[in-house]
Amino acid sequence: MQKDSELSGCKITAEFSTRRLRLRAWRDADFLPFAAMNADPRVMQFFPQTLNAEQSDAMATKIQQHIRQHGWGFWAIELPQVDDFIGFVGLDHPQHILPFSPCTEIGWRLAARHWGQGYASEAAAEVLRLAFQVLRLKEVVSFTSVLNLRSQAVMQRIGMQHRGEFFPHPGVPEESALRAHILYRISQSEWVKTSTSD
Ligand SMILES: CC(C)(COP(=O)(O)OP(=O)(O)OC[C@H]1O[C@@H](n2cnc3c(N)ncnc32)[C@H](O)[C@@H]1OP(=O)(O)O)[C@@H](O)C(=O)NCCC(=O)NCCS
């Protein structure tokens, strides 16, 4: 099981690239396009509500500070020559105590105009490589509303497995249809197998 202390001593470079994307630390200029994303009902369809500018800025500040402090987190994604900020993909320790805590999650949120291009999966595959090769995590999890099939498709594309685990997310109101969550996992040894079989 992953412990916070396993990550606390790890500092990794906060910026790196994939074939089409740059993953980097957050700039203050990212806050405005992030607020526009968080106000978009398509992007927030599987969250209890959209965020107003103040809530969005608070989330961005938290993410920005986390990367400054640890060198890893929910990286800002840039599409070089096209768009300076299209969303985030990265790692986090969930703020709620969950049935499988402690854990490290991989998560993503992109502006809707950039869906359907494979960007989330491309960034997430590189984040998993960092998680296992650089941070040397034993396991990474991901979870979302059972209704969020687009997000589950990303989990499947990067080799994560769902083994029948579901849980009610404590941060979602009990009466909400979004409370039922599905859990995916990938261990370091599973990742080694999938990444060497490519
Ligand atoms: C979840 C989310 C990141 C998925 O984005 P996405 O663009 O669908 O996912 P991918 O990056 O894996 O792209 C896959 C799609 O790109 C297509 N694609 C096009 N060009 C591609 C390429 N060069 N390489 C790979 N895939 C490509 C794939 O065929 C697939 O299309 P499909 O949706 O018609 O099946 C996005 O829907 C989102 O930000 N949602 C809101 C936030 C959210 O719900 N986050 C998760 C909360 S837990």
Q: For residues 179 and 96, what is the distance between their CA atoms, to the nearest angstrom?
A: 13
What is the percentage of the chain residues whose pLDDT exceeds 70? 92
Q: For residues 164 and 168, what is the distance between their CA atoms, to the nearest angstrom?
A: 14
Fold of 4-196: Aminopeptidase (3.40.630)
Chain segment 139-169, per-residue pLDDT in tens:
999 999 999 999 999 999 999 999 999 999 9
- Cα 90 to ligand 1 centre (Å): 15
Atom of ligand 1 nearest to the CA of 121: 12
Residue 12 or 51, more confident: 51
Q: For residues 28 and 82, what is the distance between their CA atoms, to the nearest angstrom?
A: 19
Chain segment 47-82, per-residue pLDDT in tens:
999 999 999 999 999 999 999 999 999 999 999 999
Task: Give the residue extent of every domain in the chain.
Answer: 4-196
Cβ burial 119-156 (10 Å sphere, 16+ → b, else e): bbbbbbbbbbebbbeebebebbbbbbbeebeebbebbe
DSSP assignment string, 46-108? TSSS---HHHHHHHHHHHHHHHHHHS-SEEEEEETTTEEEEEEEEEE--SS--TT-S--EEEE
pLDDT reported for residue 195: 83
80 within ligand 1 shell (Cβ under 6 A): no
144 within ligand 1 shell (Cβ under 6 A): yes
